[in-house]
Amino acid sequence: MIRKNLLGAMFVGLTLAAMPSVAVAAEVVSTASDQSSVAITIYNDNLALVKDARQVRLARDANRLAWREVSAQMRPETAMLRNLSNPVGFRLLEQNFDFDLLTPAKLLEKYVGREVDVIRLNPATGAETRETATVLATNGGVVLKFADRIETGVPGRLAFSGVPDTLRDKPTLVILLSNPSAGLQNLELSYLTGGLSWRADYVAELNATDDRLDLNAWVTLTNRSGAAYPDARLQLVAGDLNRVRDDQPIPREVMAMATKVADAAGMQQESLFEYHLYTLQRPTTLAENQTKQVALMSAGQVPVKKEFLLEGAPYYYSGQHGELGKKIKVGVFVEFDNKGEGLGIPLPKGVIRLYKKDSQGNAQFVGEDRIDHTPKNETVRLKLGEAFDLTADRKQTAFQKLAGSSRYNYEFESAYEIVLKNAKSEAVTVIVREPMPGDWTMVSESQPHTKAASGTAEWQVKVPAEGKTTLSYRVRVRY
């Protein structure tokens, strides 16, 4: 095996060493005008797979192909060029990713140690004079060496003899290849790139009684890759992919975004490995530095359950505390099942924003929460905020250490009182959820609890309109 690898490496080395003697035709330039199709698969984590198909006329044998208008954030080590017309005998010999874009500053930097023409204009006569200078440095300013002096700054216009090959006006992948036959070839370049991302945004509206909602989901696409993708076939992958991270990622400049909302178009969903794939049913254009939205799904009259929740903390039960809080806020939650008409599909992670109409019919924002990737038939639970008209006063009314001489055999008994107050004009039910540490036993209580989990006691406490209800209990815990 070692001998085979060594022979392979020697063959590649000999092939590359022989390249200067191979006659290579003039550089073949391919632009977006050669594009026959482009397909993009975008993942959640600022990653996309681009498949760019073009028709390019190549010479036989050695060709130097400049594939322009690729992503500026291309990962060149992932690039793969295929000849779909004549794959037999088609070989890639070398590739270079030229992302150093042509600017006046870059051009001047490339001319360090070389000569430029300095052109000055006489403001009195209007005559121009031309003088040759050597660029000595461009760090923090320009240093020019003339025949009899050295000057800093740019004393006039600079004229350059040409543009270095490594400077391009647009990101370009330059490929040295061997092609079996001359003529028009159907080529496909695929590569991974950063700068393309998507997220799911959900908008829901609650009805007047808070037991139904209408839900619409949008896919928000953002293109900061430095390239445009016209009429692209678009697919989105939802799921958590494992990726190898660079030890020291290179920071990239963040570009400004423009916003555009597209016409609604449904997306078809299917399974892909352990992820889910969403396919837009029509081509769409992703312009450079653009954010676009397309419709993902829509569901109406989804049954909703609203819940008021007061939750405690485990530390209450291991020490003496007295007052544990006055006017404690009660959380407001809503939940619905991902099933039924319009739902029942895997929901990508994103933010759900809820609205409700006021007495004048105007939709008002009432809260938002983030959801993770949610399979079909699972429950979506959202925290919208804290109830304004519901508060609680909590205190410890008794505490006693029953046993224990080390931190592994303590036994405590403590009692608590929770006063729930309701300023609403209608009665409500508040769930009081208490996390109980260690082994616990309920000694007494003003109303029966349920054991929501091995370490959780839960009460459903009814609080009358403009009234209050007191929940009291005593518990024994062992550590």
Residue 356 lies in a domain: no
Residue 275 lies in a domain: yes
Largest CA-CA distance found in the chain, in angstroms, rounded: 105
The arithmetic mean of pLDDT across residues 162-173, rounded, is 83
Task: Quote the radius of gyration of the chain (alpha carbons, Å).
Answer: 34
Contact between residue 378 and residue 73 where contact means Cβ atoms under 8 Å apart:
no
Distances (CA, A) of 215 to 185, 237, 291, 296, 343: 48, 21, 22, 11, 9
Determine the pLDDT at residue 272. 54
Residue 79 lies in a domain: yes
Query: The domain that contains 398 carries what CATH number?
Result: 2.60.40
Residue 285 lies in a domain: yes
The arithmetic mean of pLDDT across residues 145-150, rounded, is 93
Determine the pLDDT at residue 249. 40
Residue 229 lies in a domain: yes
Q: Both 278 and 316 in a single domain?
A: no
Whether pLDDT at 2 is above 60: no
**Cα(376)–Cα(366) distance, rounded to whole angstroms?**
26
Distances (CA, A) of 135 to 110, 163, 164, 404: 9, 15, 15, 83
Give 342-364 pLDDT, tens digit per residue. Answer: 898 888 889 999 999 999 999 99
Q: Both 454 and 415 in a single domain?
A: yes
Tell me which residue of 229, 370, 349, 212 sits closest to 286, measured CA to CA.
229
Contact between residue 264 and residue 294 where contact means Cβ atoms under 8 Å apart:
yes
Residue 1 lies in a domain: no
Residue 122 lies in a domain: yes
**Domain finish residue from 284, 303, 322:** 303
Number of domains present in the structure of the chain: 4
Give 59-110 pLDDT, tens digit per residue. Answer: 999 999 999 999 999 999 999 999 999 999 999 999 988 877 788 888 898 8
**Cα(374)–Cα(199) distance, rounded to whole angstroms?**
14
Q: Both 139 and 231 in a single domain?
A: no
Determine the pLDDT at residue 440. 93
Q: Both 244 and 189 in a single domain?
A: no
**Parent domain of 155:** 104-159
- Give the lowest-confidence range in 115-124, 196-205, 244-253, 348-357: 244-253
Determine the pLDDT at residue 239. 65
Determine the pLDDT at residue 25. 62
Residue 6 lies in a domain: no
Q: Both 270 and 241 in a single domain?
A: yes
Both tokens of 142, joined, read: 């320009």
If phi > 0 it is left, if psi is from -120 to 50 it is alpha, else beta; for residue 183 that is: left
Whether pLDDT at 54 is above 50: yes
Residue 220: enclosing H or E segment and its boundaries?
A: strand 212-223
Whether pLDDT at 12 is above 60: no
The arithmetic mean of pLDDT across residues 275-302, rounded, is 88
Give 16-44 pLDDT, tens digit per residue. Answer: 334 444 555 688 999 999 999 999 999 87
Contact between residue 352 and residue 204 where contact means Cβ atoms under 8 Å apart:
yes
Q: Both 320 and 459 in a single domain?
A: yes
Contact between residue 239 and residue 45 where contact means Cβ atoms under 8 Å apart:
no
The arithmetic mean of pLDDT across residues 226-254, rounded, is 67
Q: Both 249 and 329 in a single domain?
A: no
The arithmetic mean of pLDDT across residues 115-124, rounded, is 90
For residue 240, what pLDDT band results from cuts at 50, 70 and 90?
low
Contact between residue 422 and residue 393 where contact means Cβ atoms under 8 Å apart:
no
Q: Both 178 and 223 in a single domain?
A: no
Give 297-338 pLDDT, tens digit per residue. Answer: 899 999 999 999 999 999 898 889 989 999 999 999 999 999
For residue 407, what pLDDT band results from cuts at 50, 70 and 90?
low
Q: Both 77 and 137 in a single domain?
A: no
- The set of residues, in sequence order, having a beta carbon less than 8 Å from that of 116 and lying 6+ positions away, is 132, 133, 134, 135, 144, 158, 159, 160, 161
Whether pLDDT at 441 is above 60: yes
DSSP letters, 45-87, are TTEEEEEEEEEEEE-SEEEEEEEES--TTB-GGG-EEEESS--
Q: Both 74 and 120 in a single domain?
A: no
Distances (CA, A) of 356 to 341, 360, 361, 381, 390: 22, 11, 9, 18, 20
Determine the pLDDT at residue 245. 56
Whether pLDDT at 176 is above 90: yes
Q: Both 321 and 386 in a single domain?
A: yes
The arithmetic mean of pLDDT across residues 165-183, rounded, is 88
Determine the pLDDT at residue 103. 82
Tell me the three state secondary structure of residue 231. strand
Whether pLDDT at 241 is above 70: no
Q: Both 407 and 259 in a single domain?
A: no
Determine the pLDDT at residue 237. 86
- Bigger pLDDT: 339 vs 250: 339
**Cα(119)–Cα(128) distance, rounded to whole angstroms?**
7
Tell me the three state secondary structure of residue 180. coil
